[in-house]
Amino acid sequence: MTSPQPTLHMQNLKFRYPGSALSQPWIVDVQQLSIAPGEQILLTGASGRGKSTLLQLIAGLIDPDEGEIFINSQNIAHLAGSKRDLFRGSRVGMIFQTFNLLRGFSAKENILAALLFSSIPKKEHNSRALDLLNTVGIETPDREVSQLSVGQQQRIAVARAVATTPTLVLADEPTASLDPENSKAAMDLIQSTCEKIGAALLCTSHDPSMATRFTRLESLDALNSLTTV
């Protein structure tokens, strides 16, 4: 029996910020990393070592200087403009440390915005948004997000990330803004939701306590040839 194609595969990936001297080390220098369908990985590394940059590369928000990134066998470098945006919107869910919710919009409207990138019929968007918010315990879907607690905002961010049933979820320090109680609840929700929809999860953190939650740990310093930033 052949193994399924990885949800994420990258090889020979190199990146340094535009304007950096060629003598400067690469911010990201990953020879190879693959994530199987439904697999959950914790990527560790100190602040400033390139974890967030790596996630931005995977999501196609920035382009590498060298190397390739495949999501569901699609080389994202071969997609440009709106095609890349649509691919990202339908296949990749993103959870940010600062949530990046749309201010001035309600919880439901934040989910509806994500659903614009899905193949779900538009007439079903409203009911799906309400179902997702109910699943994550948001009982006030029409309340503007800035009026909700930090813990509630994180729940909305999780619901938004999985709204299009992505195959890959990228979580960038998702508990850094939360207290210990909300951190545990948020990670329980993120991991269980990814498991429910069968999405692979790549989560970054420099919090040592997160390691017990994952069966596979990867150190960016080990993946990188980078020794200093």
Helices (H), the chain: 51-58, 81-91, 107-115, 125-135, 150-161, 180-197, 220-223
Give me the pLDDT at residue 21, please.
86
Q: Is the pLDDT assigned to residue 226 strictly greater than 70?
A: no
DSSP code, position 143: S
| 204 membership: H or E segment, kind and range | strand 200-205
pLDDT of the residue at 66? 95
Q: Is the pLDDT of residue 144 over 80?
A: yes
* Residues 159-206: tens digit of each pLDDT: 999 999 999 999 999 988 888 888 888 899 999 999 999 999 999 988
> Encoding tokens for residue 211?
């390691």
User: Residues 36-50: what's their mean pLDDT?
Assistant: 90
Which residues in 44-82 are b (16+ Cβ under 10 Å) and which e? bbeeebbbbbbbbbbbbeeebbebebbbbeeebeebeee
Average pLDDT along the chain: 91
- pLDDT tens, 73-101? 999 999 999 999 999 999 999 998 888 99
Q: Which CATH superfamily is domain 8-223 in?
A: P-loop containing nucleotide triphosphate hydrolases (3.40.50.300)
pLDDT tops 70 at residue 3: no
Tell which wins on pLDDT, 151 or 70: 70
- Average pLDDT on 120-148 reads 94
Residue 1 is predicted with a pLDDT of: 52
Q: Percent of the chain scored above 70 by pLDDT?
A: 97
Q: What's the CA gap between 192 and 219, in Å, rounded?
A: 23
If you average pLDDT over residues 106-118, what whole number do you get?
A: 94
pLDDT value at residue 19:
85
pLDDT of residue 220: 87
pLDDT per residue as tens digits for the range 47-76: 777 899 999 999 999 999 999 999 999 999
